Structure 1
Amino acid sequence: MKNNSISSLSGKKIILLGGTSGIGLETAIAAADEGASVVVVSSSQQKVEEALTVLPESSKGFTADLGDEKQVAQLFKKTGEFDHLIFTAGDSLKFSELPELDIDDAKQAIHLRFWGAIMAAKHGAPQIREGGSITLTTGALGRRPRKGALVIAGMAGAIEGLTRALAIELAPIRVNAVCAGTVRTNLLADMPEAAREAFFNRVGSKLLTGRVGNPKELAEAYLYLMRGSFTTGQIIVVDGGSLLV
Structure 2
Amino acid sequence: MSTALVIGGTSGVGLAVARQLAGRGDAVHIAGRNAERMHRATAAIGGEVQGHVLDAADPAAVAALAARIAPIDRLVITLAGSGGAGPLGDLPLSGLRQAFEEKYWPTVAALQASLAHLGEQASVTLVGAVTARAAMPGTAGIGSLNAAIEGLVRPLAAELAPIRVNAVSPGYIDTPWWDGFEPEQRSAFFEQAAAALPTKRIATAEDIAETIVLLATNPNLTGTVIETDGGALLTA
Which bracket does the TM-score occupy, shorter chain normalised?
A: over 0.9
How far is 1:100 from its partner? 2.8
Query: Which deviates more from structure 2 when the two are superposed, residues 65-74 or residues 29-38?
Result: 65-74
Q: Which residue of 2 aligns with 1:88?
A: 78
How far is 1:35 from its partner? 0.9
Query: Which deviates more from structure 2 when the two are superposed, residues 58-67 or residues 231-240?
Result: 58-67
Following the alignment from structure 1 to structure 2, what is the Cα–Cα distance between the partners of residues 103 and 188? 22
Q: Which residue of 2 aligns with 1:145?
A: 135
Q: Does the aligned pair in 2 maintain the 1:176–1:235 contact within 8 Å?
A: yes
Q: Which residue of 1 aligns with 2:113?
A: 123
2:85 maps to a residue whose letter is: F
Q: Which residue of 2 aligns with 1:48?
A: 38
Q: Which residue of 2 aligns with 1:4?
A: none
Q: Which residue of 1 aligns with 2:56?
A: 66
How far is 1:180 from its partner? 0.5
Is 1:75 aligned to residue 65 of structure 2?
Answer: yes
Cα deviation per residue 1:46-80 (whole Å; 9 max; x = unaligned)? 11111000123311111111123333333323433
Q: Which residue of 1 aligns with 2:227?
A: 237
Following the alignment from structure 1 to structure 2, what is the Cα–Cα distance between the partners of residues 157 and 148? 15
Query: Which deviates more from structure 2 when the two are superposed, residues 69-78 or residues 113-122?
Result: 69-78
Q: Which residue of 2 aligns with 1:113?
A: 103
Q: Does the aligned pair in 2 maintain the 1:184–1:214 contact within 8 Å?
A: yes
Q: Which residue of 2 aligns with 1:228?
A: 218
Give me the identity figure in percent. Answer: 31
Q: Does the aligned pair in 1 maintain the 2:100–2:145 contact within 8 Å?
A: yes
How far is 1:93 from its partner? 4.8
Match of 1:36 among 12, 21, 26: 26
2:28 maps to a residue whose letter is: V
Structure 1 unmatched ranges of 5 or more: 1-10
Is 1:158 aligned to residue 157 of structure 2?
Answer: no
Q: Does the aligned pair in 1 maintain the 2:66–2:72 contact within 8 Å?
A: no
Following the alignment from structure 1 to structure 2, what is the Cα–Cα distance between the partners of residues 73 and 41? 12
Q: Does the aligned pair in 2 maintain the 1:92–1:190 contact within 8 Å?
A: no
2:45 maps to a residue whose letter is: L
Count of residue pairs the alignment pairs up: 235
TM-score, normalisation: structure 1 = 0.90
TM-score, normalisation: structure 2 = 0.94
Residues 1:189 and 1:95: Cα distance change in structure 2 (over 3 Å)? farther
1:219 maps to a residue whose letter is: A
Is 1:210 aligned to residue 200 of structure 2?
Answer: yes
How far is 1:94 from its partner? 5.5
C-alpha RMSD of matched pairs (Å): 1.5
Secondary structure of the residue that 1:53 maps to in structure 2?
helix
Q: Does the aligned pair in 1 maintain the 2:83–2:95 contact within 8 Å?
A: no
How far is 1:122 from its partner? 1.2
Is 1:168 aligned to residue 163 of structure 2?
Answer: no
Q: Does the aligned pair in 2 maintain the 1:92–1:189 contact within 8 Å?
A: no
